[in-house]
Structure 1
Amino acid sequence: MLTGQKRKFAIALMSGSTQAAAAVKAGYSEKSARSKGSQLAKDPDVIAFMNKKRDSESAVEVPVYEPKTPPPVVNNLSGKFEDPLEFLKSVMNDLTEETDVRKDAAKAMLPYIHPKKGEGGKKDARNAAAKVAAGASKFGAMAPPKLVVNNKG
């Protein structure tokens, strides 16, 4: 599986960096950069990503912009969102963005929308277990008696 760090390593390696420098750019430790760079250069996912990028770059003609003309702005989101969650949603749903960027936005947004099971803490789990046990047991707390008032007397 191609992770974000592996993708950064492959891009840095394709831009002309050495394996060690690419590993450092990808976020790996400087102490282990040489060995990690060598290991990642042999990784089948990294190799496949680099081949795919090379093929797509050779097949697509890159337009050259004149210095006088600024490049067109495809997605100008600066100052549009006050809530980071709304920004991540817009990036995730933006079809003009790269698929990997959209996936990263979805991953970053996931814990805020769907919390992990059991994140309530020990006390909450213990109270929930006690309620389940009390309801299923014949020794649990009984319901209070229903009071009937007869004033016809």
Structure 2
Amino acid sequence: MAMNEQKELFARAIAISGGRISNREAAIEAGYSEKTASATGSRLRKDPEVIALIEKLSTPMANSASQQGDDLAKAAVKVADTVPALQADSFYGEVIVQTGLQVVIGDKNYSLLDPRDLLTLAGMGIVTLTQSQIKSLQTVLPYKYGKVGETGKKEAQQAAAEEILQTDTFAPLRSPSIGRLQ
């Protein structure tokens, strides 16, 4: 049997309760019918995929979302710590201010966690990066920001402009097409 949303909800109900609720109650929470909940709960409890998911969700790390969030925040700070301090105090007359993981130059904000912003800051000479850091940031860019599709950027803009012209009430009238006369 393939894993579906109801099976996952059943496994989550069992895992969150720590096994304190019955299979029937967990099946009802998962959205199964009350009439067949007892049999369904018993069947799902024997399903190997559900058993594996319950074990996975019962681990201490899975139950503690706040702990996972703290770990992610610490990892983000570690990443930001690898970026050296700012090399300049001003850029073309604009004051550079660093607040945590943000760098503000004039009215523009740059994040030290965003690969595009970090490469931009390196290009402006505000932050110095090693060649390996630059290469890894360039590798990550297509995954964070999608690649340009089959049509180029200019063709996409032209197509969008033509679409707007067709739906605009003040669009110029098209010349009449002469079809076959019958």
Give the TM-score category using the shorter length.
Answer: 0.3 to 0.5
Q: Given the two structures, how large is their TM-score scaled by the length of structure 1?
A: 0.37
Structure with the largest fraction of strand: 2
**TM-score (normalizing by structure 2):** 0.31
